[in-house]
Amino acid sequence: MHNIKDIRNNFDVFKSKIKSRNVNFKLDIIIDLDLKNRKLIKEKESLENKKKEISKSRDKTLFVKSKEMSKKIDKIAKDQLIVKKELDEILSSLPNLPLDDVPLGIDEKSNKEIKKYGEIKKFDFNPKSHYEIGENLKMLDFDLASITTGSRFVFVYDKLALLERAISNFMIDTHTQLNGYKEISPPLMANLGSMYGTGQLPKFENDQFEIKIENKNERKFLIPTAEVILTNMVKDTMVNLKNLPIRVVASTPCFRKEAGSYGKDTKGMIRQHQFYKVELVSIVENSKCLDELERMTKSASMILDKLKLPYRKVLLSTGDMGFSAEKTYDIEVWLPSEKKYREISSCSSCGTFQARRMKARYKNKENETVFLGTLNGSGLAVGRTLISIMENYQTKDGSIIIPEVLRPYMNNLDKIQKN
RNA sequence: GGAGAGAUGGCUGAGCGGUUGAAAGCACCGGUCUUGAAAACCGGCAAAGGGGCAACUCUUUCCUGGGUUCGAAUCCCAGUCUCUCCGCCA
């Protein structure tokens, strides 16, 4: 959520930053609404003040007048509320402002590669896609999932299911033991307030799976990412400075409608309605967001280092960033079958953007109440990690070598092969 | 699902129609003392919004939304959440 005062004082900067995010919305209306809003507030408050005086005087002869004023106040308050609501609706649907070092661009083509890591393996055969490998092993079944559930779901069997579980456990252990994150097993549903807090609502409602609930005052959603729940752990709270930074990690299923991506990645496990993801969330003093972003990105990429998978770090452009982000690094892993890097993690600093929506604050050293900084990142997407292991560690006969760091998590199994 | 109890500032907790934005304690910040710290003592300390260059000032807020009243944290109605007991159940 944007601060109207900041917008007012720096409208041109605000305008150009929002524009850089490919929002075409006539922003000038914000100024109009703000002016109108403040005018009505002024009117209302002056009447309220007079009314208060009457009440304080306890002068019975003025009581009638006071009653009239109440009616007037009600009317103005109603008008004011309409204006305020319109203003808030606009402000809450505008994305965060990108930091100055974020490359300008309309999509991923403008992303800036920071660095490549690891070595791309040369195969002496034509590497297969993960879904070919999985189906040959009879350990992935997309057809069955489409019968029981629908498209973009999958059954994972046997040793491949074990591998998926191992990946998740390995990641959590790494983050808790080496990177200072605390493990959480959170609810997998979020209420309206939480969805708003992290920025999934109101703008991206049609990407969310909503749970049907009898009580229509109550809305619940399956989490599209654990970020929603983990970040909202500080919603409406005043965090004690000495408890910062807060670093938490959770492995959860994530649910997304993937509306608008019809025909994209329809084959395989790349883009599913349900997938596991290990999520990192940091809650920090707002001045420390950028340091924390570097730290978080390192924590995430450490996983790929340990798995010995080739990847690259990319700085996203203004057009490719998520709604709440002010700066985002993507980590992209090499997929031999596609002969390109694919996103496996996205680490974002949201600055105070989410904290404003959540009313999540702390008292700084000067004893002022200020908004927290929030960051989130995948550490990593489990499904896509599974894919990348299958593809990068495949052998000519269709088996999969288990990366060494995962073997302790798989009863020391070193290879998955056809039964 | 049935029966009760509750929701007040960062926290604990008083207040139950009119100088109550709200006692007290804790926490926090500043100071005195101390070689330093602790303790003790003194002082400060809610948020959001409006107006003002500023000092400052005004409005709103005691779970949420309605209502009664000149006036509501306090009274009435509806809802949400939390806790306790009973039932059912992983």
Measured CA to C1', the nucleotide nearest A66 is B70
Nearest one of A115, A101, A152 to A321, comparing CA atoms: A101
Measured CA to C1', the nucleotide nearest A69 is B70
- Token pair listed for A415: 């290879």
* pLDDT at A305 (0 to 100): 98
Distance A215 CA to B75 C1' (A): 30
| Integer Cα distance of A249 and A270 in angstroms | 22
* Cβ-contact A414, A393 below 8 angstroms: no
| Integer Cα distance of A168 and A162 in angstroms | 10
Distance A230 CA to B9 C1' (A): 26
Nearest one of A221, A326, A224 to A273, comparing CA atoms: A224
| Integer Cα distance of A134 and A390 in angstroms | 8
Task: Write out residues whose CB is closer than 7 A to strand B.
Answer: A 3-5, 38, 41-42, 44-46, 48-49, 51-52, 54-56, 58, 63, 66-67, 70, 215, 217-218, 238, 240, 363, 365, 367-369
Distance A242 CA to B44 C1' (A): 21
Measured CA to C1', the nucleotide nearest A367 is B29
Helix or strand holding residue A140 (H, E): strand A140-141
Distance A235 CA to B77 C1' (A): 30
Secondary structure (H, E, C), A61-110: HHHHHHHHHHHHHHHHHHHHHHHHHHHHHHHHCCCCCCCCCCCCCCCHHH
Q: Where are the beta strands (DSSP E) in A170-213?
A: 182-183, 189-191, 210-211
A269-303 burial, b if ≥16 CB within 10 A, otherwise e?
A: bbbbbbbbbbbbbbbbbbebbbebbebbbebbbbb
Q: For each successive 10 residues of chain A (419 residues), what is the average pLDDT?
A: 91 94 92 95 93 86 86 91 92 95 95 97 96 97 95 96 98 98 92 91 91 76 95 91 92 91 84 97 94 98 98 97 97 97 98 93 85 96 98 97 98 96
Distance A284 CA to B33 C1' (A): 36
ipTM reported for the complex, 2 dp? 0.87
Report which residue is nearest nucleotide B79 when distances run from CA to C1'.
A217
Domains of chain A: 4-92 (1.10.287), 108-416 (3.30.930.10)
Largest pairwise CA distance in chain A: 99
Distance A370 CA to B44 C1' (A): 19
Burial class (CB in 10 A: 0-12, 13-18, 19+), A96: buried
* pLDDT at A20 (0 to 100): 95
Give the Cα-Cα-Cα angle A244, A245, A246 (nearest 5 degrees).
Answer: 100
- Token pair listed for A217: 């005052």
Distance A219 CA to B81 C1' (A): 15
| Integer Cα distance of A95 and A92 in angstroms | 8
Distance A172 CA to B89 C1' (A): 32
- The dihedral built from the CA positions of residue A20, A23, A29 and A31, taken in this order, carries a sign that is negative
* Cβ-contact A48, A72 below 8 angstroms: no
* pLDDT at A216 (0 to 100): 65
Nucleotides of strand B under 7 angstroms from a protein beta carbon: 10-11, 18, 27-29, 44-51, 58-60, 70-71, 79-81
Q: What is the DSSP letter of A329?
A: E
